[in-house]
Amino acid sequence: MSHLLAARIRTGLLWAAAVAVVLLYGFPFAYLVLTSFKPAVDAIAVPPTVLPERFSLDNYVTALNRPGVTASFVNSVSTAVIATLLSMALAIPAAWAITRYRTRTGRLLMAGSLLVRMAPAVAIGIPLVTILGAVNLTDTPTGLALAQTTVALPLSIWLLASFFEGVPREIEEAALVDGCGRFGALRRVILPVVSGGVAVTAIFAFLASWNEFLFALLLTSIRAQTTPIAIANFQSQFGLDWGPMTALATLYSVPAVVLTLLLQRRIVAGLSLGAVKG
Amino acid sequence: MSPAAQAAPPRTAPPAPAPAGGRRPRTRRGLSDAGYATLLAAPAVVVLLALVGWPLVKLAVDSLYTGSGLGDGRGFAGLDNYVTALTDPAIRAAAGRTLAYTVIVVTAELVLGLAVALLFHRLGPRARILQTLFLYPLMIAPVVAGLLWRFLMIDNVGIVNELLTRVGILDNPGDVSWLSDPDLVLFSVALPDIWLTTSFMTLVLYAGLQAIPPDLYEAARLDGARGLRLLVSVTLPLLRPVIAVALIIRGVDAARAFDVILIQTDGGPQSASETLSLTIYKTMVSYNDPGTAAATSTLFMIVMMAVAMVAVLTIWRPGKES
C-alpha cells in the first residue's frame, strides 16, 4: 500500500515538474503578448508588472499606423507565398526522384541540400546582392523569395523525401497498371496519398521565409521590406518604443501560431522526421 | 539493429527483395527510369546551382579582389584579403566568440533538452499536450525571440531582474546588466537562442528515447541498475548517435547566429557579443570592405562545410552498422 502511495506521489511530482517546465518556458512569449495589451506607458513602467492593470489596444493602433508597417506585412506574405510555391514546385519532383529511383544524382542532391543547409547565410547573401542587382531584382518580393528559396528548398526536399519514403511501392504500381504515366501516377495518385506531408512541408517552407531576416536585411531597402526588418527598424527610427514593438512582434507571430495549430499532430511528425534525418 | 538506427531508418537500404527480373521494364515513352529521375530532379538542381553555387563561386572570386567592383577601385589582391581575415585581431576575436557562443548554446540546450525529453518520456503519451506546447518556440522568428529577451532583460525595467529581486536572488533590479556588461553579454545573447531551440533538442532526443526497446531497461533493472546508473549505462550510450546528429545541426545553426544577436545588442558593447556573421556583415555593409568580407565568409564557409562533411560522412549513415 505504501509502495503504491510512493509511486503515486512520484508520478504526481513528475507531472508537476512537467507543467512547471512548460509554464516557465511559455512565460517569455506570454509576457510579450500581455505587454502588448498594456497602455504604452505601462509597458515600460518601473517596476514592471506581469499582468496588465489596464487593457488597451493603443500599442496595436500605434504600431500599425507607423509608416511602412502594413506594407511590410503585405511584402512578408507575398515573399513567403512566392518562396513556398517555388520551393514546392521544385522539391516535389526532386524528392520523388530521390526516394523512388535512388540514383546517384539523387543521393548527390540530398547531400548537397544538407550542405546548403549548413552554409552560413552571409556567405550566400553577400554575393546575391550583386547578382540579384544585375537582373533588377533587389528590393522586390520576387528577388527576396529567390534568395529565401536557398533555405526553403533544401528543407522541403528533405522533409518531402521523408514523407515519400512511407509510400508503399504497390500504390504507384497499381496506378501504372491502370494506365497512368509515371508523371500522372505521381500527380494523381502519389501526391494525394502524401497530401498531409506536402501540407506540412509547405508550412515549413512558408515559415522559413516568413521568419527569415538576414537576406531580407541585405536584399530589401524600402519597397520590399518585410516585417522582421520593420520590427528591427522600430528601434533605430523611433527610439526604443517597447509598447508598439511588442504589439508588432505579437501580430507578426500570429500566422506561425495559427499554422502550427492547424496541423499540430502532423507538424510534430514533420519536425521529428526533419530533425532526426537531417 | 540499434535503436538509433530505428530512430533514423536507413535511407540507403536496398529495397526489399526485388521481384524476379530485377528492374521495371521501360515504359512506353522510352525514357529510362534513371533518365526520368534526372529530369524530375533537374529543375531543383539548376535552381540550387544558380542561387547557391554561383553566389559561392562569386564569393570566392571576390575574395581575391579589393574594392567594391562598382567604380575603378577594384584591383586584384591575390591572397591579401585572406591574410587580413586570418590576422585581423577583430576577426580573430569574433571567431573565438563564435566558438564560445556555439559551445554555450549547444551545451545548455543539450542538458535542458535531455532533461525535458526524459521527463516527457517518463510521463508517456498522456503528456502530449504539454509536449506540443513545449514545441511552440520553434515556430517563433529568431528576431522576435531576440527582441523579446532583450525586453525581458533590460536593465532596471526588465522583468527578469524584477523577479530575481523579488525572490531575493538580487538585492536590486539594477545589479545585473545582462546586455551591457561585456563580461556577461555573450551568455545573455545566447538565452533567446537556447529558449528557441531547446524544443528542437527535446524533440529529437524524445524520438530517440522512444526508439529504445523497453526490454533493454528491463534487463538492466534485473541486473540492479537504477536511476542515474540506468541513464549513464543504458540510455546515453544508446542515444549517442541521435545526440551527435542533434549536436551537429544545432552547432552549425548556433555558429551562424545573426538576427538573434543583431536585434539584442548589434554585437556590442565593445564588440563583446559580435560573432562572425555579424563581423562579416559589418565588414561588408558598414566598413564597405567587400574583399575582406568575402575572404572571411569563404573561410567561415570552408570550416562549416568541413564540419558538415564530417557529419554527413560519419554520423548520418545509419544504414552502415558498425
- In chain B, which residues have their Cβ closer than 8 Å to the Cβ of A46? 156-157
| Test the B interface: residue of A99, A126, A158, A177 with most B CBs within 10 Å | A126
Length, in residues, of chain B:
322
Asked if B307 lies within 8 A of A32 by C-beta distance, the reply is no
Closest chain B C-alpha to A5 CA, distance in angstroms: 17
What region does B125 belong to: left with phi over 0, alpha with psi -120 to 50, or beta?
alpha
How far is the C-alpha of A120 from the C-alpha of B280, rounded, in Å? 11
DSSP A53: S
DSSP symbols for B139-182: GS-HHHHHHHHHHHH-TTT-HHHHHHHHTTS-SSTTS--TTT-T
Contacts of B309 in chain A (CB under 8 A): 115
Mind telling me how many Å the CA of A253 is from chain B's nearest CA? 6
A127 lies within 8 A of chain B by CB: yes
CA-CA distance, B78 to A214, in Å (whole number)?
29
Nearest Cα residue in chain B from A210: B141
Alpha-carbon gap, residue B273 to B75, rounded angstroms? 33
**B31 to chain A, minimum CA–CA distance in Å?**
10
* Range with lowest mean pLDDT among A187-201, B3-17, B275-289: B3-17
**Kind and range of the H or E run holding A126:** helix A121-134
Mean pLDDT within A227-233: 88
Judged by CB atoms closer than 8 Å, whether chains meet at A101 and B304 is answered as no
Distance from CA of A1 to the nearest CA of B (A): 22
Taking the C-alpha atoms of residue B231 and residue B216, their distance in angstroms, rounded to an integer, is 12
Closest CA of chain B from A16, distance in Å = 11
Does any domain span residue B156?
yes
Tell me which of B12, B24, B27, B52 to substitute to probe the interface with A (most A C-beta atoms closer than 10 Å).
B52
Chain A partners within 8 Å of B37 (Cβ) = 97-98, 100-101, 103, 105-106
Residue A22: which of B134, B144, B204 has the nearest Cβ? B134
Measured CA to CA in angstroms, residue B152 lies from A20, A235, B84 at distances of 19, 16, 38
The predicted model gives A240-267 an average pLDDT of: 83
Cα A50 from chain centroid (whole Å): 28
- Are residues A94 and B305, on separate chains, in Cβ contact within 8 Å? no
Host H or E run for residue B45: helix B33-48
Cα A10 to Cα B141: distance, rounded to the nearest angstrom: 37
pLDDT at A92: 93
Alpha-carbon separation of residue B51 from A213, B229, B291, B294 (angstroms): 17, 50, 20, 17
Q: B79 Cβ partners below 8 Å, 6+ apart?
A: B64
Q: Please state, in angstroms and rounded to a whole number, the distance separating the CA atoms of residues A91 and A153.
A: 6
CB B164 within 8 A of CB A47: no
CA-based nearest distance B187→chain A, Å: 17
Report how far residue B52's alpha carbon sits from residue B58's, in angstroms, rounded to the nearest whole number. 10
Output the pLDDT for position B319. 46
pLDDT at A113 over 90: no
The helix/strand/coil state of B75 is strand
| Closest CA in chain A for residue B149 | A28
Q: Do residues A204 and A259 lie in contact, with contact meaning Cβ atoms separated by under 8 Å? A: no
* B125-181 residue pLDDT tens: 888 888 888 888 888 889 999 988 988 888 667 888 888 888 888 887 777 888 888
CA–CA separation, B51 vs A149, rounded Å?
8
Judged against a pLDDT cut of 80, whether residue B206 lies above it is answered with yes
- Asked whether residue B168 is domain-assigned, the answer is yes
Residue with cell 525535458: B116
User: Has residue B26 got a pLDDT over 60?
Assistant: no
User: Which among A22, A32, A121 has CB closest to B148?
Assistant: A32
| For residue A74, pLDDT beyond 50 | yes
Is the confidence at residue B15, as pLDDT, over 70?
A: no
Q: What is the DSSP letter of B15?
A: P
| CATH code reported for the domain at A68-277 | 1.10.3720.10
Question: Could you tell me if residue B272 is inside a domain?
Answer: yes
Contact B123, A18 (CB under 8 A): yes
Q: Answer whether B51's CB lies under 8 Å from A147's CB.
A: yes
pLDDT tens track for B92-113? 999 999 999 999 999 999 999 9
| Total structural domains within chain B | 1
CA B302 to each of CA A134, A235, B296, B307: distance values in angstroms, whole numbers, following the listed order: 27, 35, 10, 9
- Nearest chain B alpha carbon to A11: B123
Model confidence at B54: pLDDT above 90: yes
Q: Which residue of A has its CA nearest to B309?
A: A115
Domain boundaries, chain A: 2-60, 68-277
Residue type, B232: V
The β-bridge partners of B65 are B76
Cα separation, A66 vs B47, in Å, equals 37
Cβ count near B45 (within 10 Å)? 17
Kindly provide the b/e burial profile for residues B280-301, where b requires at least 16 CB atoms within 10 angstroms of the residue's own CB. bbbbbeeeebbbbbbbbbbbbb
| A213 in contact with chain B, both atoms CB, cutoff 8 A | yes
- Written as nine digits, the cell of B283 is 565588414
- Inter-chain residue contact A120 with B277, CB threshold 8 Å: yes
Q: What's B270's domain CATH number?
A: 1.10.3720.10
Q: Does A228 touch chain B (CB under 8 A)?
A: yes
Instruction: Answer yes or no: are the C-beta atoms of B139 and A30 closer than 8 Å.
Output: no
The C-alpha of B68 sits at a distance from chain A's nearest C-alpha, in angstroms, of: 10
B66 phi/psi in degrees, rounded to 5: -105, 165
Which of A149, A158, A276 is the mutation pick for testing B, counting most B CBs within 10 A? A276
Query: What is the average pLDDT score of chain A?
Result: 85
Nearest CA in chain B to A101: B37
* DSSP codes of every residue in B253-308: HHHT--HHHHHHTTT-STTTT--HHHHHHHHHHTS--HHHHHHHHHHHHHHHHHHH
Contact B40 A256 (CB under 8 A): no
Size of interface A-B (CB pairs under 8 A): 279
Interface residue of B202, B259, B262, B276 to substitute, partner A, most A CBs within 10 Å = B259
pTM of the model: 0.85
| Residue that wins the pLDDT comparison between B91 and B228 | B91
Q: Which residues of A touch B131 (CB under 8 A)?
A: 268
Question: Which residue is associated with the grid cell 536572488?
Answer: B169
Domain of B171, in residue numbers:
79-315
Q: What percentage of chain B's residues is helix, strand, coil (to nearest 5)?
A: 70, 0, 30
Q: What span, in angstroms and rounded, lies between the C-alpha atoms of A157 and B10? A: 17
**Cis status of the peptide bond prior to B269, with omega within 30 of 0:** yes
Any B CB within 8 A of A106 CB: yes
Task: Report whether A252 contacts A265 (CB < 8 A).
Answer: no
Tens of pLDDT, residues B291-309 = 899 999 999 989 988 887 7
- pLDDT for res A237: 55
pLDDT digits (tens, 9 = 90+) for A149-195: 999 999 899 888 888 888 888 888 888 888 788 888 888 888 888 88
Q: For residue B218, how many other CB atoms are within 10 A of its CB?
A: 10
Is A272 an interface residue toward B (CB < 8 Å)? yes
- The mean pLDDT of chain B is 81
CA–CA min distance A196, chain B (Å): 18
The type of residue at B318 is P
Q: Which amino acid is at A277?
A: K
Could you tell me the CA-to-CA distances from A208 to A125, A139, A151, A155 in Å, in that order? 15, 19, 7, 9
C-alpha cell at A162: 521523408
pLDDT score recorded for residue A269: 62
Residue A100 · residue A226 · CB < 8 Å: no
Name residue B176's beta-bridge partners. none
Q: CB B133 to CB A147 under 8 A?
A: no
Q: Which three cell numbers stand for residue B150?
A: 532583450
Pick among A25, A35, A38, A129 to test the B interface (most B CBs inside 10 A): A25
Maximum alpha-carbon separation in chain A: 79
Q: pLDDT tens for residues B63-74?
A: 888 876 555 567
Residue A253: enclosing H or E segment and its boundaries? helix A242-262
Is the model's pLDDT at A221 over the cut of 90?
no
- Cβ distance of A276 and B48 shorter than 8 Å: no
